[in-house]
Amino acid sequence: EKLITRFKATSLEEILKKKINFSELSEILPRGFEEEFGVKLTEGKLTEQEEKISKNLLENKYSTHEWNYERKNN
């Protein structure tokens, strides 16, 4: 059995029992991270190293069939 098929997908609308637009989400999500992890998020640009890491992850992990459909050893 594929790992990803063991989990049921859902949506924020289903969980919250209401529609939520991007503007609301962009305000709520950072506050939730701050509260849950006890940190203060600040806006800023990624460093050159962070950009490289991000690009590598996108190309070699998150864009792959295995990650999106099978999630083997990830």
Give the list of residues 6+ apart from residue 67 with CB closer than 8 angstroms, or none.
Answer: 61, 74
Q: Is residue 68 part of a domain?
A: yes
Higher pLDDT, 6 or 15: 15
38 and 55 both lie in a single domain: no
Q: Is residue 33 part of a domain?
A: yes
Q: Is residue 74 part of a domain?
A: yes
Q: Is residue 14 part of a domain?
A: yes
Quick one: pLDDT band at residue 8, thresholds 50, 70, 90?
confident
Can you give the pTM of this predicted structure? 0.53
29 and 54 both lie in a single domain: no
- What is the C-alpha separation between 46 and 52, in angstroms, rounded? 10
32 and 58 both lie in a single domain: no
Q: Is residue 13 part of a domain?
A: yes
Higher pLDDT, 63 or 74: 63
Helical (H) or strand (E) element with 54: helix 48-57
Tell me: pLDDT of 7 over 70.
Answer: no
Quick one: pLDDT band at residue 74, thresholds 50, 70, 90?
very low
51 and 63 both lie in a single domain: yes
Residue 51 lies in domain: 45-74
- What is the C-alpha separation between 24 and 43, in angstroms, rounded? 17
pLDDT value of position 2: 52
